[in-house]
Amino acid sequence: MVRARAVGRSGNGSGGLWRLADELNPPEVGCRAMEAECIRRFHRHEPMENQCSSCVLKHIKAPVQLVWSLVRRFDQPQRYKPFVSRCIVQGDFAVGCLREVNIKSGLPATTSTERLEQLDDNEHILSIKIVGGDHRLQNYSSVITAHPEMIDGEEGTLVIESFVVDVPDGNTKDDTCFFVEALIKCNLKSLAVISERLADQDLAESMAL
């Protein structure tokens, strides 16, 4: 299986050169073409001069509907995000609503206020924007998408998460991207573990019937 990896770092409005980084066990050409097309369609940010942007990919051995059932829960990010301790949604769960997220100790943050920008259950797209909180991620926006694929002859899912964010004073664009990518990789690793465990449980239950 391909491990989560960052692709396409960019630090200016030109869109940058999409390149591979932190890559282990490169996928086959067909898979690479699918990744590139998904990034082109859903993950083309245009960072300003003081911003950086990148995206992280993860291949998960679980059906897309199962993976999406976890990702789409803007109101329950703690279902797979290990650094979230609590989440409270203000108002009805709908595009435009806000959530107050409490962060576990160990990160340079305690709270984050985030707005749901897009939720598309047909295309499997979730987009959020951070609008407040105690952290250094200013003007942070992210898009996460889930795409069906076949992995070793089984139903699988390609998950892509991209972001754009201000570069804090005293930091470089590469340092900022590296920090955010590390958080996303941790989240997607957890998403994969939980999704694959649930998929195995579903298979075991179906075989027992």
Q: Which tens digits make up the pLDDT trace of 140-171?
A: 999 999 999 999 999 999 999 999 999 999 99
Token output for 194: 């939980």
pLDDT tens, residue by residue, 30-84: 678 889 999 999 998 999 999 999 999 999 999 999 999 999 999 999 999 999 9
| DSSP output for 49-77 | TTEEEEEEEEEESS-HHHHHHHHT-TT-G
Angle between helices 173-208 and 64-71 (to 10 degrees): 130
The sign of the CA dihedral 30, 34, 36, 40 is positive
Closest CA to 183 of 80, 100, 71: 80
Q: Is 157 exposed, middle or buried (0-12, 13-18, 19+ CB in 10 A)?
A: buried
pLDDT recorded at residue 143? 98
7/22 Cα distance (integer angstroms): 8
Query: pLDDT tens, 13-38?
Result: 434 333 333 333 344 556 788 899 99
Which of 143, 152, 95 minimizes the C-alpha distance to 123?
A: 143
pLDDT at site 204: 79
Architecture of domain 5-208: 2-Layer Sandwich (3.30)
Average per-residue pLDDT in the chain?
87
More confident residue, 61 or 5: 61
